[in-house]
Structure 1
Amino acid sequence: MTKEQNQSALLVMDMQNAIVSRYVSEEGALLPFQTAIMTAREHGIPVIYVGVAMREGIQISPLNKMFGRMPANSGITAEHPSMQIHASLSPLPDEPFVGKYRVSAFSGSDLENLLRSRGIDRLILSGIATSGVVLSTLREAADKDYGLTVLSDACIDSDPEVHRVLTGKVFPAQADVLTVEDWANSLTQE
């Protein structure tokens, strides 16, 4: 295992039942995520799951366009079945789940403490949505000086054109953008 692999982690973000059901309609759409997870495990790269996990009874400001319309007790707590990780992507017992309160994986979570305590300085990003958690996490992680890779086919967005522009034009300014297959091949070449 190379030094770089010891310092990397795959983030599997917002792959929760309610979110997957909103964005995924084609059978096989989760295959790149499954392959990325399997590849990370095979190469000893930690897999960290990140997802929305509000506290029971929390009311979010109506100024927040994404979360502000949800009533308190709207079922987006970590324990709610709709917020569980999709069964086809289930974490192993030693793979942590990091709950977050907003769009970025870092917002209101202990993700940075977890990463720093494990000496992780490079993140491989995957998740739903490209224009949501992936974009927000990429921007914040870049500002925190993490090395970044985005797995373009292990990101999904409701608007294919937005996905194309982000992965083809915006993300490359701060991250390496690779398909899961290209990323997996790069690991075997190291």
Structure 2
Amino acid sequence: MPSALIALHYQNDICHPDGRIPFSLDRDGPEPARFLEASRGLIDSAREKGWSVVHVHIAFAPDYSDLPRNCRLFNAVEQLGAVKRGSWGAAPMRGFEPREDDVVLVHSGNNAFHGTGLDEILRERGIDTIVVTGLATQFSVEHTVRHATDLGYRVTVVRDCCTSGNGAAHTASLEVMSYLASITDSRTIDL
């Protein structure tokens, strides 16, 4: 059965050292570089194996008229002026540009399935197994994993290809997701 790699939010404002969202990952030390290198390698491996690679980007209208205003996380995005559709910040980070045969979805929330048509795309391709990577672990990764398991997908989370600006939240989220999905790392995953 075919598989898909879901790559969440590898965008400039979120991952780049000059990005506008300072709490998306811990930019101090070597961890961001390791996370990005492992993620790039996994995406390349998935392509080599013929998997569907799905890039899910978060972006909002330049005036934030489509921004959910029900939580502090999204309100902070507006205050920072981040991930405006068409901006450098909303664009894929260098090395994470989608290829012609990749799927690219844009959403305005945490869950990759919400409002994107992702479930329909995966089912049309006969996919029942997904691998989830990206950030932030406790937000978009976990929301996507929870929804995917509710829909009946077999899910794997690649721990070194997920990150957060809050290490304790990252660890706790991986522990919670271990009840819903297989947890592995990029060196041992069997693609």
| Common fold: TM-score over 0.5 | yes
Deviations 1:140-179 (A, max 9, x none): 1111111100001000011212222222x21111100000
Check if 1:30 corresponds to 2:36: yes
Give, as a single letter, the amino acid of the residue that structure 2 aligns with 1:44: G
Counterpart for residue 51 of structure 1: 57
Q: Which runs of 4+ in 1 moved over 4 A?
A: 69-72
Check if 1:129 corresponds to 2:136: yes
> Which of 179, 182, 189 is the aligned partner of 1:176?
182
Q: 2:67 touches 2:108 (CA, 8 Å); kept in 1?
A: no
Gap change, CA 1:51 and 1:61, over 3 Å in 2:
closer
Counterpart for residue 12 of structure 1: 7
Pairs within 5 Å for 1:51-130: 51-57=57-63, 58-71=65-78, 74=81, 76-130=83-137
Cα offset for 1:115?
A: 1.3
Give, as a single letter, the amino acid of the residue that structure 2 aligns with 1:111: L
Give, as a single letter, the amino acid of the residue that structure 2 aligns with 1:89: F
TM-score calculated relative to the size of structure 1: 0.85
Aligned partners of 2:77 and 2:41: how far apart in 1?
34
Cα offset for 1:36?
A: 0.6
Gap change, CA 1:61 and 1:138, over 3 Å in 2:
closer
Aligned partners of 2:51 and 2:68: how far apart in 1?
37
Aligned partners of 2:121 and 2:68: how far apart in 1?
28
Q: 1:59 touches 1:71 (CA, 8 Å); kept in 2?
A: no
Cα offset for 1:134?
A: 0.3
* Larger relative contact order, structure 1 or 2 (CA cutoff 8 Å, min sep 6): 2
Gap change, CA 1:164 and 1:113, over 3 Å in 2:
same
Pairs within 5 Å for 1:179-190: 179-183=185-189, 186-187=190-191
Aligned partners of 1:29 and 1:55: how far apart in 2?
29
Aligned partners of 1:31 and 1:132: how far apart in 2?
21
Q: CA RMSD in A?
A: 2.0
Where does structure 2 lack aligned partners over 5 or more consecutive residues? 17-21
When you count helix as a share of all residues, which structure comes out higher?
A: 1
Aligned partners of 1:70 and 1:175: how far apart in 2?
29
Identity of aligned residues (%): 25
The secondary structure found in structure 1 opposite 2:73 is coil
Where does structure 1 lack aligned partners over 5 or more consecutive residues? none
Q: 1:78 touches 1:99 (CA, 8 Å); kept in 2?
A: no
Gap change, CA 1:154 and 1:61, over 3 Å in 2:
closer
